[in-house]
Amino acid sequence: MARKSGSSGTLTAKAIRQQSLALFASHGFSAVSMRMIADAVGVQPGALYQYHPTKQNILVDLMRSHMQGLLETWNTQEIINGAPEQALEQFVRFHISYHITRPDEVFISYMELRSLEPEGFQEIEALRKRYEQVLKAILDEGISRKVFVLEDAHVAAMAILSMLTGVNTWFRSGGRLSQEKIEDMYVAMVLRSSGC
């Protein structure tokens, strides 16, 4: 009825993240109770408050680290400084491969924005905007060099991002198509849609 033998704060913190992520992704934030998370972690509900002040804070932490990881991974990539169509291909492959391996993070980051209170919402939305800007910059460059025939970089960026992120709604690993094959097909469609 007190501290458990073998207990470790860092391990419990990690377990809370993992279990919350899985539960939020499959049931939705509101449908998951602190008791469900506690059960999955193997701990009493009260123990969760040693790690997060509120349930809302768990969600914000998950979404923040997903968006930050996404941005940092892009930024530490070696950027091909070639033609705009090469940059676009690199972006498509990066987006698909990063997202396809993190279905739960992607799901909650795109679906639970409405569950965020104003403060958290603004923080996450700002990170999202920064990522959108990465693609828009590529499209702008291609448009000004007349490599892309796109009329509007913003609309094209929204369309491409929706298309790419949509992979997560139907892809299941071990299916008919390999990840590489899927990337190839999306690269082809995106490049053609941009006019090259």
Residue 115 touching its own copies (CB under 8 A)? yes
User: Quick one: 45 or 103, whose CB is closer to DNA?
Assistant: 45
Of 52 and 66, the one with the shorter C-beta distance to DNA is 52
Is residue 1 classed exposed, middle or buried when 0-12, 13-18 and 19+ CB atoms within 10 A define those classes?
exposed
The C-alpha atoms of residue 32 and residue 74 are separated, in whole angstroms, by: 32
DSSP states along 68-123: HHHHHHHHTSPPP-S-HHHHHHHHHHHHHHHHHT-HHHHHHHHH-GGGS-HHHHHH
Q: Which of residues 83-112 bind its own copies (CB under 8 A)?
A: 111
Check: CB of residue 176 under 8 Å from CB of residue 70.
no
CB of 161 to DNA, least distance (A): 31
Tokens of 67: 């968006």
Q: Which positions from 3 to 32 touch DNA by CB under 7 A, shown as an x/- string? A: xxxxxxxx-x-------------------x
Q: Does 26 bind its own copies (CB under 8 A)?
A: yes
Give which of DNA, its own copies, none residue 36 binds (C-beta under 5 to 8 Å, depending on kind). DNA
Chain center to CA of 191: 23
Question: Pick from its own copies, DNA, none: which does 165 bind, CB < 5 to 8 A by kind?
Answer: its own copies
Residues that bind its own copies (CB under 8 A): 26-31, 111, 114-115, 149-152, 155-156, 158-163, 165-167, 169-170, 177, 182, 185-186, 188-190, 192-195
